[in-house]
Amino acid sequence: MEEVVSLRAGYDPIRIGIGINTGMMMLGTLGEEDRMEGSVISDAVNLAARLEGLTKLYRTLLLVSEATRSKLTPDAFRMRLIDKVAVKGKAEPVLIHEVLDAEAPEERDGKLVTLEVFNSGWELDQNQQSKKAQTQFQECLKQAPGDTVADLYVGRCEALLSNGWDAENWDGVNRMDTK
């Protein structure tokens, strides 16, 4: 409802991205007597921050790590696996999932209808079958034109088809060089 009100008033809707990871962290208080603040630090917190940054790349609202997804009650949320990434500063890749229930109903429903096609495209992409993968992602976009992740993969496939694969070094991991 707030989005409708803000659009009527001529304002752009507010869109935020959230990244969630599960793991150990340390909580501490920093500062001095007149000025103190709490903070959390750990690799788990750092990964959550990196996932939040990746919401801009994938143009999604909510990303969770495999560590988080595996701790949730099965079927508590509708999600889809969207990538295997090594975030900046880390060599170890993580699987990331888009939480579809965070989307507007029409976007969520379109992504749910194309879930099997998307999963097939992702598997084909992982196996260096770019042309077939691109066809799957294009089909997703026909049925769900607002699917920003499928759109990203169409572009990735196009780039790979134009520039070729580095097949010797491809391990299915997308290495991110920005935060």
**Is residue 48 predicted with pLDDT exceeding 60?**
yes
Lookup result for tokens 């150990």? 24
Of 137, 134, 156, 155, the closest CA to residue 147 belongs to: 137
Output the average pLDDT for the chain. Answer: 90
pLDDT of residue 5 exceeding 60: no
Sign of CA dihedral 30, 67, 92, 114: negative
Alpha carbons 138 and 73: distance in angstroms, whole number: 32
Helix/strand number for the chain, H first, E second? 7, 7
Residue 29 reports pLDDT greater than 90: no
Q: Give the span between the Cα atoms of 24 and 125, in whole angstroms.
A: 33
Residue 146 — very low, low, confident or very high, per pLDDT cuts 50/70/90?
very high
Amino acid at 50: R
CA distance 179 to 164: 26
Which residue matches tokens 């993580």?
94
Runs of H (alpha helix) within the chain: 2-8, 43-58, 66-71, 105-113, 115-126, 130-143, 148-163
Among the listed ranges 11-25, 89-103, 109-123, which one has the minimum average pLDDT value? Answer: 11-25
Has residue 149 got a pLDDT over 60? yes
pLDDT (tens digit per residue) in 105-135: 999 999 999 999 999 999 999 998 999 999 9
Asked if the 2-175 domain carries CATH number 3.30.70, the reply is: yes
